[in-house]
């Protein structure tokens, strides 16, 4: 199979020197990504596209296409059939043989792109092929504005490519063409989408996670960070940095005025992230903040947060609605991870100040012991995303494949999932307790009974079970039903 890779449009308008560098980086990235899939794969390139020839195995071909679709720098991919260029009459014969049956009863248009010197123009090709196809295919007619079928072909010098299928890519710039950054990752919708948008622009976002919720929270964030790396950035090494922030949160709860807690927590995170970035040569920090989404994200509060460090802070979602953020998460495949992430607010102000200023913030931080922040930074851990453990090490959560009489199964899926696919177990009590209600409602349940947490993939249930177990509830297990 031959594939023609078309570059993101913004690459093609760069200066010749920059364009050459971007294309060279994309080639390097593709070699890293595709050779493990198909060692016999061949790649060639020219000024405006790359050509890839794969083996004949359909499964490998599908994997190659999927990888290309998720590689930054690629606008779209064409599956093509290649032929030697003969006369226009011979080209028309090829198109009739290939497309005539497909056009029966439909409107169509012929689109030809031509590169090189030829005794005919692209318009000549469109007209002659269109006339032959109209006469011999039984088509309903020609429609240049809104055809049912587009016949696309490219003529490059003395070669013809008949385009069979077009696969859309994610666009953007090739990874490695921009400087690395440090992305503050909570695992929720906002930070995950913000990190993806950095990847899409050719920026390598290494991840820093401030752990407020124990081992269970870190498990979920590791999984979404690993997913982003593996799906969109596996051509490069990305680091996952974890900073234990429970002590910082405790210090804020004890010594910071309630109305300033949210802003102060964000300032402590930026201070820590900035110091880590400076040590490791990262050029900027990335957050998922969107204006006025929560109380700490008003303009006065963001200004006070930014004052905590000198490092450039990028906020790609600053004017994006939550609906659009969730829609993007669904499209890129991170919605399930983010939706199942517990809300560890750490510091929740009863009456948060939405119009703070530096005088208030300085006064609020006056009693904070900054050695606690220093200790947290020194205790950070750093791991390559490719080496992340995606199961809890030494986890005490027991996983069972069958519920027994007397046990209670807690279905922690989203209500929409519960409604679409109800969980019914013969002889076993099932209670619907969505994950976002579990922590508050679990204390109301009978402590003398055993509870099995259930979700479709087993990730969300294990995360929440570990959270409960870490807080002394030893009557919790995970139910993972065998796949049918």
The residues carrying an active-site annotation are 455
Token digits for 160?
A: 């013809």
Token digits for 209?
A: 């996670």
Query: Helix/strand/coil (H, E, C) string of 371-439?
Result: HHHHHHHHCCEEEEHHHCCCCCCCCCCCEECCCCCCCEEEECCCHHHHHHCCCCCCCCEEEECCHHHHH
- Provide the 8-state DSSP code for 30: H
> In 201-260, which residue ranges form alpha helices assigned H by DSSP?
214-232, 246-255
Q: CB neighbours of 15 closer than 8 A, spacing ≥ 6?
A: none
Taking each helix axis from N to C end, the angle separating 122-136 and 88-103, rounded to the nearest 10 degrees, works out to 50
Return d(Cα 94, Cα 129) in angstroms, integer: 10
Count of all residues that appear for the chain in the document: 484
CB 283 within 8 A of CB 179: yes
Return d(Cα 65, Cα 60) in angstroms, integer: 9
Return d(Cα 156, Cα 328) in angstroms, integer: 37
Within 10 A of 26 (CB to CB), how many other CB atoms are there?
27
Checking 81-86 for CB contacts under 8 A at 24+ apart, the result is 81/2, 81/161, 81/162, 81/164, 82/2, 82/159, 82/160, 82/161, 83/159, 83/160, 83/161, 83/162, 84/158, 84/159, 84/160, 85/118, 85/155, 85/157, 85/158, 85/159, 85/160
Angle, vertex CA 405, rays to CA 400 and CA 407, nearest 5:
60
Q: Comparing C-alpha atoms, which of 264, 274, 198 is closest to residue 243?
A: 274
Angle, vertex CA 290, rays to CA 174 and CA 237, nearest 5:
30
Residues of 219-248 as b/e, b for ≥16 C-beta within 10 angstroms? bbbbbbbbbbbebbbbbbebbbbbbbbeeb
CB 124 within 8 A of CB 90: no
Please report where in the chains the tokens 């919708």 appear, as a residue: 189
CB 192 within 8 A of CB 222: no
């Amino acid at each position: 199979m031959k594939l023609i890779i078309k570059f993101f449009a913004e690459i093609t308008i760069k200066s010749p020197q920059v364009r050459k560098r971007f294309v060279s980086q994309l080639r390097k990235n593709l070699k890293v990504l595709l050779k493990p899939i198909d060692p016999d794969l061949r790649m060639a390139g020219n000024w405006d596209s790359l050509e890839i020839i794969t083996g004949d195995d359909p499964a490998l071909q599908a994997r190659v296409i999927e990888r290309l679709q998720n590689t930054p720098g690629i606008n779209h991919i064409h599956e093509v059939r290649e032929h030697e260029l003969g006369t226009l009459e011979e080209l028309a014969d090829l198109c009739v043989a290939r497309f005539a049956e497909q056009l029966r009863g439909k409107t169509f248009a012929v689109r030809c792109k031509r590169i090189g010197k030829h005794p005919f123009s692209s318009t000549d090709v469109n007209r002659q092929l269109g006339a032959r196809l109209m006469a011999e295919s039984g088509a309903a007619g020609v429609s240049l504005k809104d055809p049912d079928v587009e016949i696309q072909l490219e003529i490059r010098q003395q070669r013809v490519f008949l385009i069979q299928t077009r696969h859309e890519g994610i666009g953007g710039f090739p990874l490695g063409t921009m400087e690395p950054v440090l992305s503050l990752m909570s695992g929720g919708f906002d930070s995950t989408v913000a990190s993806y948008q950095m990847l899409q622009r050719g920026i390598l976002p290494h991840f820093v996670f401030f752990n407020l919720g124990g081992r269970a929270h870190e498990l979920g964030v590791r999984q979404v960070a690993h997913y982003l790396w593996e799906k969109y950035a596996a051509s490069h090494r990305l680091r996952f940095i974890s900073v234990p922030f429970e002590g910082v949160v405790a210090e804020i709860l004890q010594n910071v005025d309630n109305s300033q807690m949210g802003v102060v927590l964000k300032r402590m995170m930026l201070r820590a992230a900035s110091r880590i970035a400076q040590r490791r040569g990262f050029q900027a920090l990335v957050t998922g903040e969107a204006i006025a989404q929560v109380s700490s994200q008003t303009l006065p509060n963001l200004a006070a947060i930014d004052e905590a460090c000198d490092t450039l802070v990028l906020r790609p979602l600053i004017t994006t609605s939550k609906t659009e953020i969730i829609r993007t998460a669904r499209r890129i495949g991170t919605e399930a991870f983010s939706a199942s992430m517990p809300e560890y607010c750490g510091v929740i102000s009863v009456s948060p100040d939405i119009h703070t200023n530096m005088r208030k913030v300085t006064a609020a931080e006056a009693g904070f012991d900054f050695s606690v922040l220093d200790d947290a930074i020194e205790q950070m851990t750093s791991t390559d995303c490719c080496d992340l453990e995606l199961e809890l090490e030494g986890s005490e959560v027991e996983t069972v494949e069958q519920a027994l009489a007397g046990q209670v199964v807690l279905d922690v899926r989203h209500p929409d999932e519960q409604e679409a696919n109800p969980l019914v177990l013969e002889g076993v009590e099932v209670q619907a307790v969505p994950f976002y209600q579990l922590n508050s409602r679990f204390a109301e349940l009978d402590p003398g009974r055993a509870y099995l947490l259930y979700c479709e993939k087993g990730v969300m249930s294990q995360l929440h079970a570990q959270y409960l177990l870490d807080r002394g509830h030893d009557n919790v297990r995970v139910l993972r039903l065998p796949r049918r």
